[in-house]
């Protein structure tokens, strides 16, 4: 029960029989039908099936992690604190068949202004002599049949590549595409350096994840991955990467980024290619939900936190709503400071009482309308480092942040009682 296929078996899916092109056509259908997973049975120019919108709702990801809205954060934090090393597989089904070129894969071209065809649902595995294994998600822009540009945000894989480059060496990578959502979720999480994200994935999957040895690089991948691309990030080589649509739906800029030279492409029999639509709801689920858990974990240290939501209207990245069980008058402010510190990209955060459902935008607005006074309940942070994805921030992502304490004042609780029929 740890494969993409096993997850899909339990889900309602839409099947598209028409032969569609990975150039714009499949992306357009994914964009217009984001409620359910879609399988494209016939893809022009490729033998592979395409699947998208696998987890384009919170509920789908809760199902993938075998949890629910109220238990989700605690479940993930528990798994983070208790990672389980995956066992080795005798045979890797992901190596059963081979492809010669990236051109054999149904890699989508999404939007007209994109820099190229992009692989998006990637689980990139690498190793560093000191830090061990790292598993992370990176967009890959196809350069030709055997080379791709990889976007390395300055986190762990970036550091591994820098360290290899200093020695003049390439960095081996293995890219798994088409894995169980729990694996993609764990790869989307960024625990501290040296933490093996496969241990988190395996803990979330109750110890069922098995890894198989790659054939041209010294790395392991989930044996039931649909597709595996092996290769090396080259030292001292950079190419233009982008433009690319990010979660705000606006274009990320073109940057000089490193190049992967592919050494082997393999796949399961009758493979599925997972296409994650840039700026789509699935993209937001996999980026936003791990961040919610990080915020929850930090809030837990200072207040009695109930739940955290990075809201849909805020691109599941820039706006947060946090509910707390308020015990002391300054808990609202404490929560504002802790939440903004936990997720640096968050620009506005609203803190509400436990009776407000943070996933219900109307209720959150109700709390602001009836429990918030800007002069005493707003906390403004000018000149703060925010998200590079917010087009309203300046070039260096400097922005003004705002916290709204929309909790009821403890000394006037009686004034806030709502009428009921009991």
Residues that bind Mn ion (CB under 5 A): 134, 156
What is the number of the residue whose Cβ is closest to Mn ion?
156
Distance CA 244, CA 258 (A): 16
Residue 213's closest CA among 92, 77, 85? 92
Minimal distance, residue 155 CB to Mn ion, in Å: 7
Instruction: Tell me which of 246, 331, 353, 390 is the catalytic residue.
Output: 246
Closest separation in Å from C-beta 277 to Mn ion = 24
Handedness of CA 336, 342, 348, 350 (dihedral sign): negative
**Beta strand pairing call for 272-275 and 49-52:** parallel
Distance of alpha carbon 33 from the chain centroid: 20
User: Is residue 246 annotated as a catalytic residue, yes or no?
Assistant: yes
* Residue whose CB is less far from Mn ion, 171 or 367: 171
61 vs 80, which CB is nearer to Mn ion? Answer: 80
Is 31 exposed, middle or buried, given 0-12, 13-18 or 19+ CB atoms closer than 10 A? middle
Pick from 338, 358, 353, 349: nearest CA to 297: 338
Strands 348-353 and 272-275: unpaired
Q: Do 324 and 309 meet the contact criterion of CB atoms below 8 Å apart?
A: no
User: Cβ closer to Mn ion: 293 or 311?
Assistant: 293
| Minimum CB distance to Mn ion smaller for 3 or for 134 | 134
Name the nearest CA neighbour of 242 among 67, 394, 417, 115: 115
CA angle, 64 as apex, 23 and 73 as ends, to 5°?
115
Find out whether 93 and 223 touch, Cβ atoms under 8 Å.
Answer: yes
Give ∠ CA 141-274-222 in degrees, rounded to 5: 100
To Mn ion, the closest distance from the beta carbon of 195 in angstroms equals: 6
User: How many residues are recorded in the chain?
Assistant: 422
Q: Give the nearest distance from C-beta 201 to Mn ion in angstroms.
A: 12
Rounded to a whole number of angstroms, the minimum distance from the CB of residue 294 to Mn ion is: 13
Sign of CA dihedral 274, 279, 282, 284: positive
CB of 194 to Mn ion, least distance (A): 8
Q: Which residues are catalytic?
A: 246
């Amino acid at each position: 029960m740890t494969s993409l296929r096993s997850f899909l078996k339990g889900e309602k899916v839409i099947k598209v029989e028409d032969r569609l092109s990975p150039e714009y056509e499949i992306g357009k259908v994914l964009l217009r039908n984001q409620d359910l997973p879609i399988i494209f049975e016939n893809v022009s120019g490729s033998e592979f099936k395409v699947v998208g919108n696998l987890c384009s709702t919170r509920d789908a990801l809760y199902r993938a992690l075998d949890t629910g809205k109220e238990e989700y954060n605690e479940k993930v934090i528990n798994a983070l604190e208790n990672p389980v090393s995956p066992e080795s597989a005798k045979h890797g089904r992901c190596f059963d068949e081979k492809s010669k070129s990236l051109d054999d894969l149904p890699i989508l071209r999404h939007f007209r202004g994109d820099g190229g065809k992009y692989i998006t649902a990637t689980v990139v595995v690498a190793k560093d002599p000191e830090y061990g294994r790292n598993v992370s998600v990176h967009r890959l822009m196809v350069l030709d049949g055997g080379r791709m540009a990889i976007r390395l945000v300055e986190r762990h894989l970036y550091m591994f590549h820098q360290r290899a480059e200093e020695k003049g060496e390439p960095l081996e990578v293995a890219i798994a595409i088409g894995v169980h959502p729990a694996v993609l979720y764990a790869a989307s999480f960024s625990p501290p350096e040296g933490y093996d994200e496969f241990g988190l994935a395996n803990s979330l999957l109750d110890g069922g994840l098995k890894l198989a040895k790659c054939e041209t690089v010294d790395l392991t991948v989930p044996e039931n991955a649909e597709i595996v691309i092996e290769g090396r990030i080259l030292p001292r080589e950079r190419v233009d990467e982008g433009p690319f649509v990010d979660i705000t739906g606006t274009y990320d800029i073109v940057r000089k980024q490193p190049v992967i030279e592919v050494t082997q492409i393999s796949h399961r029999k009758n493979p599925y290619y997972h296409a994650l639509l840039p700026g789509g709801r699935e993209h937001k689920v996999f980026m936003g939900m791990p961040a919610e858990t990080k915020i929850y974990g930090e809030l837990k240290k200072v207040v009695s936190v109930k739940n955290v939501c990075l809201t849909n209207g805020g691109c599941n990245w820039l706006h947060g709503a946090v509910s707390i069980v308020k015990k002391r008058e300054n808990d609202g402010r404490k929560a504002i400071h802790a939440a903004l510190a936990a997720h640096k990209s968050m620009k506005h955060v609203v803190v509400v009482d436990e009776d407000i459902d943070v996933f219900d935008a109307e209720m959150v607005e109700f709390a602001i309308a009836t429990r918030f006074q800007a002069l005493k309940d707003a906390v403004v942070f000018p000149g703060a480092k925010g998200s590079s994805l917010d087009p309203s921030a300046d070039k260096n992502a400097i922005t003004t942040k705002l916290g709204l304490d929309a909790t009821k004042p403890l000394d006037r609780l009686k004034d806030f009682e709502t009428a009921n029929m009991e």
